[in-house]
Amino acid sequence: MIAFVFPGQGSQYVGMGKDIAEKADGIFQDASKVLGFDILNLCINGPEGELNKTENTQPAILTVSYALLKEVESIGIKPAFVAGHSLGEYTAALCGGVFSFSDALKITKKRGILMQEAQPAGEGGMAAVLGLDEETLKNICESIENFYVDLANLNCPGQIVISGEKEGIERASLLAKEKGAKKVVPLQVSIPSHCKLMKSAAEKFKEFLLNFHFNDSSVPVVCNVDGIERKSAAEILEAFIKQLYSPVRWQDCVKSMISKGVDTFVEIGPGKVLSGLIRRIDSNVRIFNVDNLKDLEKLKEELK
């Protein structure tokens, strides 16, 4: 049984989408018309600073992932489940026909803008903590006085990301090291995602989403907020809103799909971050990543 998984913010790089562009020319052209700028030029040539702006990053990753998805679908491979990490959940929903590509672009661009506006630049932060369990790290976060910090991404065994106010992140990072964390890596992000500091963004986002039509998904979408599959448009919409201020439970998503019989994961989009995480969650499953046409040929040979 096959699952398609889609990467989120952080997987972008200058040059992504370059070799798929000719085949997917119409997709990039359509995206540029919706967004009002040349998305392909941004993906291929950058500059990196512009590509890394949240409001650009999100539709850019979505567009490249969607172009690659169309190629995977064209060789006849179909998923039993879909899931995405944070932003990637929107590509997963797009795969299930929850909304049109055009609407997905508008939604992810607005999501990026609202997330950026929710917290003044430099006041929030995130850090990856390696080698501590969820309970220990949760206790550390709760022990920080006067500053807010919480769990944001539960990625795989021994890798949890914390998010919150900058001072809170710094204090929690020191405590984590004292409690035995192997490593704490501050993330190069301008916003504290997936924590309560995004609550105001979620409220505005909910209002914005009322402008769009959502369909039930043709394939179960395994959602970040709890690792539970959803097909109903209303339930997926609710999960999107909650996801902004709730931890991404990626490990639970992967385990849930494996428990339902998934033994092959195909990561579709720039980079191969999710492939690495899935390997650490369960080394017995087959994993492919499709970031370019060479990867697509390999997938075709193995799965057709």
Q: What are the residue numbers of the active site?
A: 86, 194
Number of continuous H segments (helices) and E segments (strands) in the chain: 13, 10
- Beta strand pairing call for 124-130 and 286-290: unpaired
Distance CA 23, CA 262 (A): 30
Place of tokens 């998934």: 262
Measured from the Cβ of residue 38, the count of other Cβ atoms closer than 10 Å reads 14
Q: What angle do CA 73, 79, 85 make, to 5 degrees?
A: 100
Measured from the Cβ of residue 283, the count of other Cβ atoms closer than 10 Å reads 8
Looking at residue 95, its amino acid is C
- From residue 77, give the alpha-carbon distance in Å to each of 3, 20, 269, 296: 10, 18, 16, 11
Close Cβ partners of 23 (under 8 Å, ≥ 6 residues apart): 67, 71, 293
Distance CA 145, CA 125 (A): 17
Distance CA 154, CA 224 (A): 10
Distance CA 239, CA 27 (A): 27
Place of tokens 């963004």: 201
**Cβ 255 vs Cβ 281: under 8 Å:** yes
Structure tokens given for 238: 């609710």
Structure tokens given for 70: 């169309």
CA dihedral over 38, 44, 50, 54, signed as positive or negative: positive
